Amino acid sequence: MPEPMQIEVVAPNLKKRLSGVTATVVRLIPVQARMIGIVATGPGLPSDLPHIPLARAATLPRDRWRVWHARRNTEMALGLILRHVLRRRYRLLFTSAAQRRHTGFTRWLIRRQDALIATSPQAASYLERPATVILHGVDTQVFHPAEDRAALRREMGLDPDALLVGCFGRVRAQKGVDLLVEAALRVFPRHPRAQLVFSGRITPDNRAFADELMAKARAAGLDDRIRFLGEIPWDEVVKLYRTLDLFAAPARWEGFGLTPLEAMASGVPVIAARVGAYETLIRDGETGTLIPREDVDALAAALDRWLSDDAGRAAAGRAARAHVEANHAIESEARAIVAVYRRLLETGR
């Protein structure tokens, strides 16, 4: 456990289940720990992550300023309690990915932060205060192309000869899962090797939604080619990216949306809707295809195009990997955030 004098930044994660925010904390902190004294706090985090209990975060000595880096409302609220009720010397930082008008309570919390980070220019436009824009990155050592895709597919119980399309994230309407199933139902009869795999949790409130999609696949005789894997361990998700020929992210709306970057780092071209930060991340026609939001026709056409072009997919996969290495490596994101930490600590002093 780190000594108090070594702790300069505390990154809370007040959610037990894996989420996009939790994944951000898990992937960033090991990189940032090489640059600054940072620890996480909260439940559900890997045991090898630099970590202190919440009780210790609330009782750190008042001998110096530290940064409290929140990414959720609950974490912003707790930061205010730590500083103003328990009198801990925390500089308060909030990162926002949301691309919508914030609620009154969220705006109240945001006004009480010492600094803000936005994960895209679009997210920054909703904050009503100056923010540093820092795009997400990915760890290109973790996410990389497979050395032997066919062997990896056999290891994971997948067809080594399939044209495999993936879509990862919680199964719900927001992610456009129903749009992708509809597009596959139209296109797959022309591509007998094509298969579609979804990976992500199906919550009870979305069970009927998922069951209806599975019923449509069965009715079309494609239930063996459109599969819902459910929530699988993170290391399996990482490997699953490497098995893909194509990734699809047809979300109806998105805060940032990290899955296309993870796919591209794995050497996989991406079809994505023009939502979230996707237009910033994807080079249309070079690393994949951007389509209008909620446009099933455009999604089906893009699927048909990439499934029909083996050489084009391979070239786009190579371009995608090179694009991420050059522009979206996690080290650049970590350095930019650490620079914000240091400015806050200097201001505190």
Q: Which residue in 287, 268, 290, 286 sits closest to 278, CA to CA?
A: 290
What residue spans in the chain does CATH classification 3.40.50.2000 cover? 4-137+329-348, 149-327
- pLDDT value at position 27? 86
- pLDDT value at position 4? 67
Which one-letter DSSP state was computed for residue 137?
Answer: -
The beta strands (E) that lie in the chain are given as 9-12, 38-41, 66-70, 90-96, 115-118, 132-133, 163-168, 194-199, 226-228, 246-249, 270-273, 288-291
- pLDDT value at position 82? 97
- pLDDT value at position 222? 96
- pLDDT value at position 19? 72
Q: Whole-model pTM above 0.85?
A: no
- Mean pLDDT for back-to-back runs of 10 residues, the chain (349 residues): 81 80 87 96 88 95 96 97 97 92 95 95 91 93 95 96 96 96 97 97 94 96 95 92 98 86 97 90 95 97 98 98 94 96 87
Q: Assess contact for 260 and 267: CB atoms under 8 A.
A: no
pLDDT digits (tens, 9 = 90+) for 29-63: 999 999 999 999 998 788 889 999 999 999 999 99
* Residue type present at position 106: T
Architecture of domain 149-327: 3-Layer(aba) Sandwich (3.40)
CATH 3.40.50.2000, applies to 4-137+329-348: yes
pLDDT digits (tens, 9 = 90+) for 150-177: 999 999 999 999 999 999 999 999 999 9
Rounded-to-integer distance, Cα 177 and Cα 185, Å: 12
Distance, CA of 43 to chain centre: 19
Phi, psi of 167 (to 5 degrees): -150, 120
